[in-house]
Amino acid sequence: MANVSHRGDISSHPDVSEMRERYARMLGGRDVALVDGPVFLLGLYCAASPWIVHYTASQPPLVVHNLIMGIAIGLLALGFTTAPARMYGLSWAMCALGVWMIIAPWIVGSSPDTGVIVNNIVIGALAVVLGALCAGASARSAARP
């Protein structure tokens, strides 16, 4: 059996310059790696917020809405983590989801109380801020040579 644990010097490899450029490109797109976790946690909280804030009985349509929106935000976060080069173009969709979360209590819900409104405004504002951070970092990394 071959010894595959030996790590030799790859400087003589014919594709070393191409491999280094590819590695630099991959790391260059990860400027917002610290945002991926908070985006996922925001989606998780959004999905669980009807049970945390206790409005499952008073706002059934908003319960389903926040559950679906939380799953969507969580899936965006997973996409940001697994395929950053492709997904950071969708950072503006995160901002749009945030704006929708802010206005949803009045459109989806029926006479929401203050706790429901504040909950959705906080979730929406955080989604807008995190989406703008992702979009800004994506623009910066795209502008690099």
Whether the Cβ atoms of residue 74 and residue 94 lie closer than 8 Å to each other: no
Q: Nearest CA to 38 among 136, 138, 123, 135?
A: 123
What letter would DSSP give residue 115?
Answer: H
73-109, pLDDT tens digit by residue? Answer: 999 999 888 877 777 778 889 999 999 999 999 999 9
Q: Has this prediction a pTM greater than 0.85?
A: no
1-52, pLDDT tens digit by residue? Answer: 555 555 666 677 677 788 777 666 655 555 556 788 899 999 999 999 999 9
Q: Nearest CA to 77 among 104, 63, 101, 97?
A: 97
